[in-house]
Structure 1
Amino acid sequence: MSDNGPPLISAERVIGGRSYDFARRVVVMAIVNRTPDSFHDRGRTFALEKALEAVRAAADAGADWIDIGGVPFAPGPDVSVEEELRRVLPVVEAARELAVVSVDTYRPEVAREVIKAGAGVVNDTSGLRDPAMADAVAGTAASLVITHSLAAPRTLFPSPQYGDVTAEVGAFLRRQVDVALSRGVLPEQIIIDPGHDLNKNTYHSLELTRRLREITEIGYPTLAALSNKDFIGETLDRPQQERLVGTVAAVVFCVLRGARIVRVHDVRAAVDAVRMTEAMLGLRDPAYARHNM
């Protein structure tokens, strides 16, 4: 194993019509939520024009991918399939020319429609709770993110318990990858995500981060979705809008342990942190070199 991360299954991939070598590149995924109740932005981009402005700003700031959500994972009122599609489809259509489009959904019906509309990634925070999600992705050019969680999205799940959180998350991800493969999803379509804070307390998320190498060693590109999450806020005693420095520290830490996709709200800061980390790992050259040359 090199310092740059564990060997990857199908490191070289085409996603959303763009080529990636995850052995040598870290992807920055921006977050744009068309929801009135997302945990960080609290509806700031719920209005369509605000969402479109956020898409353009993320692309201008250097985002590689843009993750569009129409329904938060956290507990809350039901949102119909029709309403979820009404929220996300216009944003998918606007973003697909600017970056790879990911859609955060746990519904196969939504996945099918957003793939048709040009989404290159389906980000399933339920971890194939409905195996039909694998059927929706199989046979397409889209990638599938399989995320660990214990409860269904929008469901209250207080005081989650684990014997060994990292081992249990890893075992879950391996099982769900096998489900995806058995239903026709190809290895080169699969991405995994340990699900920081999803049915986990702060100690669980900190341990997952510390032992993230055990997750990245599963072999599929690993997404670390940790931007501004409560485990950062509780560790530093910082409210939602004051977690950028903690987020950047966690992003760099996860990249050093093999994460190859990071999901963030503050794109420009994350891009700089990721590109600097890539350069220090020898994965990229400086933008220019004049000092003492």
Structure 2
Amino acid sequence: MSESARGGALPWAALAPTLDALPPASPPLRVRGRDVGVHGGAVMAIVNRTTDSFFPGARHADDDVALAAVERAIHDGAEIIDVGGVRAGVGPDVSPAEEIDRVAPFVARLRAELGDAIVLSVDTWRAEVADAVADAGADLLNDTWAGADPHLVEVAGRRGLAVVVSHTGGLPPRTDPRDVRFDLPADAPAGTDPLDAVVHDVVTTLAAGAARAVACGVDPLGVLVDPTHDFGKRTVDSLRLVRRTPALVALGYPVLMALSRKDFVGETLDLPVDERLEGTLAATALAAWGGARVFRAHDVRATRRTLDMVAAIRGDLPPRAAVRGL
């Protein structure tokens, strides 16, 4: 039994090494010269202009309903609004023209009514849509399909926008993963956990994508790297990427986590989409502790409170009303 367990004093020298275990955080996202998520990270609220999003609560095809959702998200603590015009997964075809019609006028309306206080993001993989929403006032292009259209990142650089660089395991847009496998590199040390093969693949892919974005003219702090949970991955892969958040932070770019109510949460807990909030928040807390900076979420208020609690534990934010014991 140790001295401390017997009631004796624990030598400071034995305690001190445990005090430096705080993982570093990724830098804040920079959008048009403004830093976002400086204290406690940022919430990116999901507002989809579709009728078939996998989570019914994110379906806001009607303009007034969508605007109310945006206003509610801002009230609940969102700093970024992510507008989507096409379901990410398998579904009916949506032409570029229809996607533009769903998102560009709405982005223009938001910009006119909200000014520059909120960052406006558009979830698209198409360069022509990117150009249209840039005209409408978008600040950020959320390319969840890993550069499937190689010209999208060129639009971001040319128009002065921030951009999300993602990882999909090489899948084309709107396809589901099948027979997923990641192999460890030949130079991996003996004894490396085979599940860390996905971490190597993601980090390598994101590093290359981020470098291309910078080469295209995107501010390095405007490159938001996203491991893209579920896309091209098994549930065990997505769980490992939450655990290895510090490896993503080590790339030196702001890190995005899009965890909200995803299938890896559902499969882990064997729960349908409408019962995945607690699992989402658990993963959010761990990723925030690991240093991720931006969190794409359906449940803005719960996510904001989770991030603030983690930030206070990390020492990044003070308690708001600390009077106990004073």
TM-score normalised over the length of structure 1: 0.92
CA shift, 1:94, in A, is: 3.6
Q: Is the 8 A contact 2:145 2:166 kept in 1?
A: yes
Q: Is 2:59 aligned against 1:39?
A: no
1:277 is matched with 310
Conserved 8 A contact 2:167-2:202: yes
2-structure distance, mates of 1:147, 1:30: 18
Whether contact under 8 Å (1:38, 1:72) holds in the other structure is: yes
**Amino acid across the alignment from 1:242:** E
Q: Which residue of 2 aligns with 1:69?
A: 84
Structure 2 residue matching 1:106: 3-state secondary structure: coil
What's 1:152 paired with? 172
In the superposition, relative to structure 1, how do residues 77 and 21 fare at CA in structure 2: closer, same or farther (>3 Å)? Answer: closer
Superposition map of 1:183-202 within 5 A = 183-202=216-235
CA RMSD, Structure 1 to Structure 2 (Å): 2.0
CA distance in 1, matches of 2:66, 2:228: 24
Pairwise CA distance, 1:17: 6.5
The CA deviation at 1:151 is 0.9
Q: 1:26 to 1:292 in 2, by over 3 A?
A: same
Cα pair distance change 1:16/1:242, threshold 3 Å? farther
Match of 2:31 in 1: 15
User: C-alpha separation between the residues in 1 aligned to 2:213 and 2:21?
Assistant: 28
CA shift in 2, pair 1:156/1:104, >3 Å: same
State the Cα distance separating 1:181 from its structure 2 match. Answer: 2.4
Tell me which residue corresponds to 1:87: 102
Question: 1:130 & 1:70 partners in 2: Cα distance?
Answer: 16
Instruction: Answer whether contact 2:52 2:59 (CA < 8 A) is retained.
Output: no
Looking at structure 1, the residues matched to 302 and 37 of structure 2 have their Cα atoms a distance apart, in angstroms, of 22
The reply to whether residue 177 of structure 1 matches residue 176 of structure 2 is: no
Indicate if the aligned counterparts of 1:66 and 1:99 stay in contact, CA closer than 8 A.
Answer: yes
Which protein shows a greater Rg? 2
The more displaced of 220-229 and 205-214 is 205-214
Summarize the Cα distance change of 1:55–1:21 in structure 2 as closer, same or farther, 3 Å threshold: closer
1:110-259 equivalent positions in 2, closer than 5 A: 110-149=129-168, 150-163=170-183, 164-259=197-292
Tell me what 2:22 maps to.
Answer: 3
Provide the TM-score with structure 2 as the length reference.
0.83
Q: Which residue of 1 aligns with 2:15?
A: none
Q: Identity of aligned pairs, percent?
A: 40
Q: Secondary structure at the match of 1:269?
A: helix
Give how far 1:277 is off.
Answer: 0.9
Task: Tell me the SS of whatever aligns to 2:82.
Answer: strand
Aligned amino acid, residue 114 of structure 1: V
Deviation of the 1:99 alpha carbon: 2.0
> Post-superposition shift, 1:283?
0.9
Give me the whole-angstrom Cα distance separating, in 1, the residues matched to 2:92 and 2:41: 35
Unpaired runs of at least 5, structure 1: none
Classify the secondary structure of the residue corresponding to 1:138: helix
Deviates more, 1:118-127 or 1:87-96: 87-96
Stretch deviating more after TM superposition (277-286 or 257-266): 277-286
Q: After superposition, what is the alpha-carbon deviation per residue over 1:163-208, rounded to whole angstroms, capped at 9, x for unaligned?
A: 2111111111111122222322231221100000011111111111
Change (3 A) 1:89 1:17: farther
State how far apart, in whole Å, the 1-side matches of 2:301 and 2:37 are: 22
